[in-house]
Every structure is written in structure tokens, then in C-alpha cells.
Amino acid sequence: MGRPGSAAERVEQKQRAGMRAAELVADGMTVGLGSGSTAEQFVRALGQRAAAGARFRCVASSGRTTALAREVGLEIVELDGPLDLAIDGADAIERDTLRAIKGLGGALTREKLVALAARTFVLIADDSKLTPTLAERPDLPAPIEVLTFGWQLTRQRLAAFGEPTLRERDGAPFVTDNGNLILDLYHADLAQPELLAETLNGVPGVVAHGLFLGIASSAIIASEDGVLELTATPSG
């Protein structure tokens, strides 16, 4: 993890990561757009390229990203086939493997669909998101999107693997763009995230979880020292 910077420095780093990522997008590509404050910097940078004459077809991973993309002049299309490239932020990124935790913004299911549809998936972040291993971020939950139907039973089942906590916003349950709920699974065993991911995939009521394992091929990390590009090495 990098040293704690000021909020303004973090914004500037997210901007630099977003701008570098926009350079990866070739004219005519179909591109997946992530969600969150870092992904939004990428969307803005891509909008500048579109304003300068480049043309992209974009699939957005949230309503918020859709609105921003349209505002900056990007064409939004349905997710109906493979994407050339997708770019997204993350909440934690393992330095070597680029295994990531995503979903603190609540868009994890669409983000995962977009990431898995992409021939190349690139993470962008400031260096506060980097960690030697995911297990070294016990402060972070594994966000899990669950169906509202029977969610208390789903929470009971998930309690075997950690402390599932219903995410709330403004005193009410947080509802995703898909009309579902989020259970944030605290204190899960992240030493072998593949095992946890497989377990979570088998729990009835779970729509998707925020463990993005083996999906990102590279990461663009901005710090006070500049912009670093990391390539994933296989885990295990």
C-alpha cells in the first residue's frame, strides 16, 4: 500500500490512471466501462478522445456510469457479445497476481459480466489499493450481491464463512441496479480466495461476489512517483 496521500492527490492519481488507460483504447473498439470514482476518470478521458474524433462502442457496468458516459459523448450499447477491452477500478488489488476485491460501490455483478466478456481486462487504481495479498486487507469485506427473495436465509448460509452484513445507505437497505441486496462478508478467509469464491458460487441466493480472480491481465497503478503498469503472474 502506498503512503496515505491527500484527497486531492488521490483524485489526481485516479485521473492519471484513467488517462493512461484511455490510451489503450483503439479507435473502433468495443469497450467495457467500469464503475466507481477511478473508472469515472477513465470514462472522462475516453470522452475527450471521442470529442477529438475517435469512435468507440461502450458497455457500461452501472446506471451511474451510463449517465456519465452519455454526458461525455460516448455511445452506449448492450452487452451482447465479446468486448475488445474493459477497464475498471477495484477496492484491493494483489500486487503479483492482480486478484482483486471489487464491489464496495455496489456494481459488482455487472462489472463481473463486463470483465469476463472482455478479451483484455485492465484494473486502474491509485496505489492505496495495492496489497501484497488480499488476506492482508482484513478491513475489507467480500461484497456479495444476493436476491432479495429469501435474503435472510442466504445470510444465515453465508454466516458459515464470515460475518455477512446487510449493506445500508441512508438508513435503508442498499439496492443494486439489478434490484438486489448486498451482503458484505467480513472476516472471511481470504488466504485461498479461489476456495472462498467457489464456495460462495454454490450458495443459493448468491448472484455474484466481488472476488475477481484470474480476470485482470494487467493493472495501471498511479502513485506520487508516477504511473506503474503491472502484469499478472499466475497465482498458486
Residue corresponding to grid cell 469464491: 197
Q: Which is nearer to ligand 5RP, 102 or 209 (CB)?
A: 102
Q: Which is nearer to ligand 5RP, 157 or 167 (CB)?
A: 167
* 208 bridge partner residues: 145
In whole angstroms, the minimum distance from the beta carbon of 61 to ligand 5RP comes to 8
Q: Which residues bind ligand 5RP (CB under 6 A)?
A: 34-39, 88-91, 102-108, 111
For 223, list phi and psi in degrees, rounded to 5.
-140, 180
> What grid cell was written down for 202?
454454490
In whole angstroms, the minimum distance from the beta carbon of 102 to ligand 5RP comes to 3
Q: In this structure, are residues 70 and 184 in contact, taking their beta carbons and an 8 Å threshold? A: no
Q: Which is nearer to ligand 5RP, 24 or 211 (CB)?
A: 211
In whole angstroms, the minimum distance from the beta carbon of 172 to ligand 5RP comes to 19
Q: Which is nearer to ligand 5RP, 107 or 232 (CB)?
A: 107
Q: Which is nearer to ligand 5RP, 50 or 124 (CB)?
A: 124
Distance CA 69, CA 66 (A): 5
In whole angstroms, the minimum distance from the beta carbon of 36 to ligand 5RP comes to 3
In whole angstroms, the minimum distance from the beta carbon of 55 to ligand 5RP comes to 25
Choose, from 111, 136, 194, 198, the residue flagged as catalytic. 111
Query: DSSP code of 26?
Result: P
111 catalytic residue (yes or no): yes
- Catalytic machinery residues: 111
